[in-house]
Each structure stands twice: as C-alpha cells, then as structure tokens.
Amino acid sequence: MRGIPERGAEVLMGLKQTGFGIGRIVTLGGHVEPGETPAQAAVREVFEESGVTVAEAALEQAGTIEFIFPARPEWDMSTVVYRAWSWDGEPAPSAEIIPAWYPVDKVPYARMWPDSAHWMPEVLAGRTFSAVVTLAADNESVASVVFS
C-alpha cells in the first residue's frame, strides 16, 4: 500500500493474464516453493509478477485464510496474507499480471474473486485476521466466511 497526498491510499494489484483467475483483478502472490517460507514466497511472487522488490523485513502479516472448496477438495488451500508499506521499483507488466495501483476507497471488487470483498477490507484497514472461506458448488461464489 502507498499513500499519495493528492490521490489518497492505494493498493498494488493486477489484472491476471494467465492461469487460475485469468481476467480478474487479483492481489499479488502465489504458491510457496519447496524450501521457502510464506514470506520468502511473497517477496519472490511480488517481484516475478510486478518487478517490484519488497524486503522480507518490510512484510507485515495481515492474516491467514483457509479456502475450502467442497466441490473440488483438491483445490483447498491455506494462505498467508501480507501487506507492505515500503518497496523498491515501479510496477511493470509480466507475462502473468498487468499491475496497477488502485485507490483503497475504490477497490474493484466486482472484477475480483467474490471472496475478496470479505477479507480485503481487513487488510486495507490495517487489521490482522484469520478467516475460513468456504466456496459454493460453482467454486467461485462464497458459501460462508468465518472470522476468528
């Protein structure tokens, strides 16, 4: 996230160009590779997807999300969500993502995964959370969100 006096706070996200979520606005991130910690994976993924360098020490854990896909249990996943207030470089498109800054008060939830509207406000408000998101049979709609 960054703050621009004339524009207010913004969050870096991107338009997904390939794979899971193609055509949606998504937060930057991805899978943890063998031998990586979630924080190391976040640093790597942000760089790969946007060209922006975030130091691991600059990451602040915002929360955790357990995604449950009853119709496709093999898709179940555990995620760690981070936010950062400092970085180096300007975002540039990659093969996977076209990154852009979005005003915090105008996050394009209608163009994102439906679950984002439940947990993203927590991230943007600076709160720490733990959530379990259960998807509906279509693997996109949200059946339930439980915060603890």
Low-confidence ranges of the chain (pLDDT < 70): 1-8
CA triplet 116, 120, 125: central angle to 5 degrees?
A: 165
Distance in Å from the first CA to the final CA of the chain: 24
pLDDT of residue 5: 43
Q: Are 141 and 135 in contact (CB under 8 A)?
A: yes
Q: Are 50 and 97 in contact (CB under 8 A)?
A: yes
State the fold for domain 2-63+79-128: Nucleoside Triphosphate Pyrophosphohydrolase (3.90.79)
pLDDT of residue 20: 85
- Give this prediction's pTM: 0.90
pLDDT of residue 51: 97
